[in-house]
Amino acid sequence: MDEKMLISNIKIDVVIGIGYKGGVENAVKRTVMFFKENGAQVRVIQMLDSGYNWLPDEIEFYCLNSPSNRHGIKNEYGEFLEHHEGADLVLVAGWPMLVPIVRQTVSNDTRVVSWLHGAVEVYMAENLGDYNDLKSAHAHLAINSNIEKSIRKHIGEHALIYRINNPVDIGDIAFNPNRDTKKLLFVGRFSEEKNIPFLIESLGLAPKDWTLKIIGDGDANIKENLHRRCEELGIKDRVEFAGWLEKPWAQAQDACGLVLPSKRETMPLVAIEALLCGMPVIATPVDGITELIKPGVNGYLFPHDDKEAFVQILRMIDENKLPKISAEACRDSVAFVLDNEPLKGLCRTIIDILNVDFDDYKDSGAVIDSYFDGLKQIQKSYLTLNYDLCYLLAMHKKIASQGVSTAVVGSSHTMNGILEEVLPGGKKENINLSSSSQDLYYDKEHIKKLLTSNKKKLRNIVIELPYYALYQDLSKSKNESFLVDRVFYPLFGQDAVHNLQRELDKSTVLWPEYDKDMYSDALIKELCEKSTEEAFLAQSSYYGILPREKNNKLRLDNIFWEQLSIDERREYAKERAKQHNKQRNYKESYEENKLILKKIADLCSKEGIRAIFVIMPHTEEYIDYINSNFKTEIYDVLNELPYEVEVIDFTEYTTYFTAEDFYDSDHLNRTGAEKVSHILASYLQPEV
């Protein structure tokens, strides 16, 4: 059934606070035009007058010019409905405060749907509504995953939320595969949150052959200050102010990248439009952007207000130190907006909302059968108690059943820092066998196991070398040797014992307590083992089930590494490095691990497998305190091998990784992991 048949003759109102020039207005305009073209009866009702006509004449438009308060808006909207027929469905675009006003004013048969175009906290800061206002909506449209999560968190799991991308008008967008210039582009209004002064200041620090074109208009004071600052920095000949253009992309064919240094966004249409043109996007990691931009694939990310990090990206592009981004990859990354798919999805959503019996919907889900609820809790507890074991068992099952092309072994640094989906072939062709505190000995055991069971030709093995790798022996650890019993013995059998200083505990699997009168042991065993295996095989990632923040001490306390003061970071890093430096006392482990490292290299060489040794990035604070002899000794061992080996030393990327890329002093967060993974992917690309 096409969209014309779906929404034909349905009466749809779009209520908006105020309209001018911007992404929200463009999204509303494209949406109502599509509705009208497909037979819906559409009106746009604007509460405050901006003095700007932003809608085409064929759209039925009413500006109420209400007082800018809840009571005044409600009175004006109520009076409007007294003289006009009501709608079947009202989309409330933007301000949350409008949702209860609309809901209280329309008839009981009218469905009211919130359509946020920004984080609720932004509206709250401007006194335009909050989460309590959203509770009045029958349903919600979320234009990015963070908005969806925040609504569900504050309103409840029962909230009816539809993830719908904003539409893009692709009529005036021309794909251009040739962008070998050094001209950057900014498109947008001149406003505080767009952070355009950052671009001017950064350009003053960048190599002099980089230029900037600014398309947009807005706040006169910001515009005047931008021109003045260009004069002061001596870069006015490198910055072009093109003004507001109705069709900006026709004037942007010679730009090599769109730059968005925004302080906040939702899902910027301008970024999607740039990608459709084949233009990479260089941006701050704000909402929407983090879903859209994959560093090294369709753009790059840099921390908020970090001029040095931004300029470093430009320098590394000059020096060919970053993965080359293709125009085709940019365009393909936003294929979801082609063929009006967001608007078609919205039409289907509207029909779904109109067909929901909200009285039944509210009651359903409130009562869950206690038997199945209990089973879910048992499964959850089992997974929590045996997470690493369940994950690694499932990954070796994947190796034995379908095989992989690239395997990663290492500790929590690569467990956090390498994303399988970013490497060539994605999760299907890559596997990460890293786990917390895993040492070289167990890396070797993983490699031996996968060499005997892999169902296809293994091409690459990535081996992480922590600074202290040559001194670490998990089996001798007083605090962590329990992992030998709990994780590695079920995987490798007696070979897992290694240098264990006590008797092995073979009762490895931990079972949660449960009602044995209600559930049989056989049922629980089969259900838990099967469900966890299926879940990990489906996700094919350590963090497919466990959220990253749940595995990080700092984030558990809602502390972000970049938010700590310099002194706090240095103190944390000092303690962390101190623990690792103590391992230099383990001389026996050092001698044994030199042999194990050579054995790993020999295994790969014998099987014709490409071995890539990686030293993961660490914060500058950690590097200041960790003993530099660790790394020297690693290189000494590798240099003694009778053949050349590849080493990627990410600690040499001194300014590419910043505080915003880390969870703590030596572990990457998702943003940092994407950077590492895209660089690694460029090494792993098969030769053509």
Contact between residue 105 and residue 85 where contact means Cβ atoms under 8 Å apart = no
Instruction: Give the pLDDT of residue 320.
Output: 84
Which 8-state DSSP code applies to residue 417? H
Which residues sit opposite 400 in a β-bridge? none
Tens of pLDDT along 273-313? Answer: 899 899 999 999 887 788 888 888 899 988 888 898 899 89
Residue ranges in the chain modelled with pLDDT below 70:
1-5, 170-172, 266, 339, 358-372, 455, 548-558, 686-688
Instruction: Give the pLDDT of residue 285.
Output: 86
Distance between CA atoms of residues 482 and 478, nearest Å: 9
Instruction: Give the pLDDT of residue 365.
Output: 38
Helices 269-276 and 23-37 sit at what angle, rounded to 10 degrees?
70
Could you tell me where the DSSP H helices lie in 185-306?
196-205, 220-233, 269-276, 289-292
The DSSP secondary structure of 87-113, one letter per residue, reads -SEEEEES-TTHHHHHHHHS-TTSEEE
Contact between residue 339 and residue 171 where contact means Cβ atoms under 8 Å apart = no
Could you tell me where the DSSP H helices lie in 249-340?
269-276, 289-292, 307-318, 327-332
Instruction: Give the pLDDT of residue 558.
Output: 62
The count of residues in the chain is 688
Instruction: Give the pLDDT of residue 597.
Output: 95
Instruction: Give the pLDDT of residue 466.
Output: 92
Instruction: Give the pLDDT of residue 490.
Output: 92
Q: What percentage of the chain reaches a pLDDT higher than 90?
A: 48
The alpha carbon of residue 540 and the mean position of all alpha carbons in its chain are separated, in whole angstroms, by: 17
Instruction: Give the pLDDT of residue 95.
Output: 92
pTM over 0.85: no
Instruction: Give the pLDDT of residue 687.
Output: 52
Instruction: Give the pLDDT of residue 86.
Output: 92
